[in-house]
A = this chain, B = another copy of it.
Amino acid sequence: MTPKVSIIMGSTSDLPVMKEAAEILNEFHIPFEINALSAHRTPDEVEKFSKGAYDKGIRVIIAGAGMAAHLAGVISSMTPLPVIGVPIKASLDGLDALLAMVQMPPGIPVATVAINGARNAGILAVQILAVDNKELYEKLLAFKQDLKKKIVKANEELNLVKYEFRVTK
């Protein structure tokens, strides 16, 4: 099995956030790999990974990092694959990581999701892979239906909260 998505995190301490990306990929049966590689502490490994990713079958990269979060941008500078960035909250409520990821200069995009938004990073990776995969696209449609069902169900429970002047259907 060849991985199609590569999840990279700047430090293994980012795993509690980044595993949500892994879970979504698993749910959609997308083969993936996860590794910890630091733009700052293992620059050579990051370079080797980035330059070789396409040829080993990777089609989307998800990179999570905190503080002055350069990882996604550095990878994007070395490969034309789409790179999804997950800013991780480690200081300043994650605003530093968000700005350090999203404010990339012209030429080198990073597809940034919310602070700690690894779950959405996983979904976005699936959406990208679905661009030429109708079956995956239909799974995503079903996934959207599920999101809806969950909130409709939660609403039913909410309807159990009573107030004298509350009107329920």
Residues of A within 8 A of B (CB): 1-3, 10-12, 15, 19, 22-23, 25-26, 29-43, 45, 47, 54, 59-60, 66-70, 73-74, 76-78, 80-82, 84, 89, 91-96, 98-117, 119-121, 123-124, 127-132, 137, 140-141, 143-144, 147-148, 150-152, 154-155, 157-159, 161, 163-169
Contacts and interface: CB of A to CB of B under 8 A. Distances in A.
Among A23, A38, A154, the one with the most B-chain Cβ atoms within 10 Å of its Cβ is A38
A123 B107 contact: yes
A159 to B, nearest CB: 8
Nearest to A132: B132
A150 B3 CA distance: 25
Nearest to A19: B161
B106 A1 contact: no
Given A92-B99, A102-B112, A105-B114, 5 more contacts: A31-B167, A34-B161, A43-B77, A68-B104, A107-B144
Contacts of A117: 103-104, 106, 109
B114 A91 contact: yes
A14 to B, nearest CB: 10
A158 B9 CA distance: 10
A103 B34 contact: no
Given A92-B94, A112-B113, A127-B82, A29 B120 contact: no
A22 B109 contact: no
A144 to B, nearest CB: 6
Nearest to A66: B105
